[in-house]
Amino acid sequence: MAEAPKQQMPARRKARKRALDVLYEADLRGRPPVEVLAGYIERIEKPRPEHLGYAVSLVEGVAAHLDRIDELIASYAEGWTLERMPVIDRNLARIAVCELLYHDDIDDAVAISEAVELARQMSTDDSPRFLNGILGRIADYASR
């Protein structure tokens, strides 16, 4: 029986995954995201993937607006502090909030569903529902 062809991960999802890798490392090491990003880019072989530009814009956007993004996440994460959230969830939320607030070319539903899908693949069983709820509330706030 022939094997089914592998599904290609969409370019923007790859970019979000790369941004997550950088933000996760920065968070764990207590380093500025842009500093970790520079080292990350150096390690990528040329030719670099096309989606790298979007990953860079996400990391730079999160870094530039981190205080505002974290303030929103903290205020809408009912019963959770940023410090208590799993590192993956915290950084997926940061990426999605960056897209919700600062990337007009990304539909809110897409930003939320991409974060939820990455959480489903990479985090706890409760993470997709948690992120969907918090990001939905932030999207409602942002669209006012």
For residue 102, tell me if it sits in a domain.
yes
User: What is the residue type of 96?
Assistant: A
CA 5 to CA 136: how far, in whole Å?
A: 34
Tell how far CA 24 is from the center of its chain: 9
Query: What's the number of domains the chain is made of?
Result: 1
Residue 1 belongs to a domain? no
Residue 2 lies inside a defined structural domain of this protein: no
In a domain, 103, yes or no: yes
Range of the domain at 19: 11-142
For residue 4, pLDDT beyond 80? no
Residues 57-94 have pLDDT tens digits of 999 999 999 999 999 999 999 888 999 999 999 999 99
Q: At 83, which CATH number?
A: 1.10.940.10
- Give this prediction's pTM: 0.92
Decide if 100 is inside a domain. Answer: yes
- Please indicate, yes or no, if residue 6 is contained in any of the structural domains: no
Least confident range of 20-24, 45-49, 55-59, 70-74: 45-49
